[in-house]
Structure 1
Amino acid sequence: MASLRKTDRRTEDEAHIEAPDLEEFIGYNLKRAYVIVQADFRRALGEDGFAPRVFSALSLVVQYPNVTQSGLARMLGIERSGLVAIVDELEGRGLIKRTNVPGDRRVQALVPTAKGKTSYVEARAVVRAHEDRLLSNLSTEEKATLLTLLGKIRSHED
């Protein structure tokens, strides 16, 4: 059973929950870390910045120009229907454009605009600084180990 430290404010109570049973689970710890990373990511990029999923999509379009929407959805591990809002946002901000794929009028490829490439480079620097700040208590070797271990977990992705 979780124990709570007595304080006058509920938010402080919630921040000091001890959950030894939960803390034994990798999933619980990954989720807690994810919440911290996402909150700091959003703070770092500001109100008008990219949401993490939009940044990820732009990153892949910049790295793989002419990727199809289906291909991008696969790379991101999301349903194609879930990608529509992301692509619409990127296109609405003038960061990518849709182009026809020669030989198949039903399929559209995504290419970054000059503004998209510049925005990506700028955002990437902010994201790198955000990660450096969050992981400053890890050594270079620990960061490499963390990425390796997370990659092993991700290898079970369908």
Structure 2
Amino acid sequence: MTTPTKNGPTSVKDIDIDVLEDTLSFYIRSINIAVSRDLDEKLEGLDVAQGTGKITTLFLVDGNPGIRPSTIAQVIFKDRSAMGRLVDQMEGHGLLRRQIAPEDSRAQALYITDKGAQLAEHVRRLVTLQSREFFSEMTDEEHDLVLDILRRTYRRILERS
């Protein structure tokens, strides 16, 4: 902890963040905001920029033809109404299309369009490059370790939901 001056901290390095200094959640939330802003800059002008869930939805629909919106919602932790808005938006941009699910006429199945498939291919390259550049100060070993820890944590959370 640093001792603030009479007029308060003079630099962000001098700010006391209290118990947050030792909480993973603070760093994860803060890094999420920073990495999302950086990614949005790299994706500027593309139909998947700004907001959360579009890229994952694009990739899931591209890789899993006929996937249901409810399945995607589970993977990206969105509620039903938010997922509906996301699908509406992406369908409006011509990235995916909905059909009645063949095995259940009450359910929707999502399919990628040609435009969506082309965008998915382009975005895959950008996302991979952006992630590596953003975390470029990590060694390959650190990167692999952090990725492994986060992947296992994500899978455990997903299994509980």
TM-score normalised to the size of structure 2?
A: 0.83
Aligned: 1:156 with 2:124: no
Task: Give the Å deviation of 1:124.
Answer: 1.4
Residue range with higher mean Cα deviation, 52-61 or 97-106: 97-106
1:82 aligned residue: 82
Matched to 2:32, the amino acid is: Y
Matched to 1:5, the amino acid is: P
Deviations 1:13-66 (A, max 9, x none): 557524253211111111111111111011111144413411111111111110
2:100 aligned residue: 100
Contact 2:47 2:93 in 1 (8 A): no
2:55 aligned residue: 55
Paired with 2:57 and 2:150, the residues of 1 have a C-alpha distance of 20
Matched to 1:148, the amino acid is: D
Q: Give structure 1 regions of 4+ aligned residues with deviation exceeding 6 angstroms.
A: none
Paired with 1:16 and 1:61, the residues of 2 have a C-alpha distance of 46
Paired with 2:102 and 2:119, the residues of 1 have a C-alpha distance of 28
Residues matched between the structures, number? 152
Aligned: 1:5 with 2:3: no
Contact 1:96 1:111 in 2 (8 A): yes
1:10 aligned residue: none
The alignment partner of 2:99 has SS state of strand
C-alpha RMSD of matched pairs (Å):
2.1
Contact 2:73 2:80 in 1 (8 A): yes
Identity of aligned residues (%): 25
Task: Give the Å deviation of 1:153.
Answer: 2.4
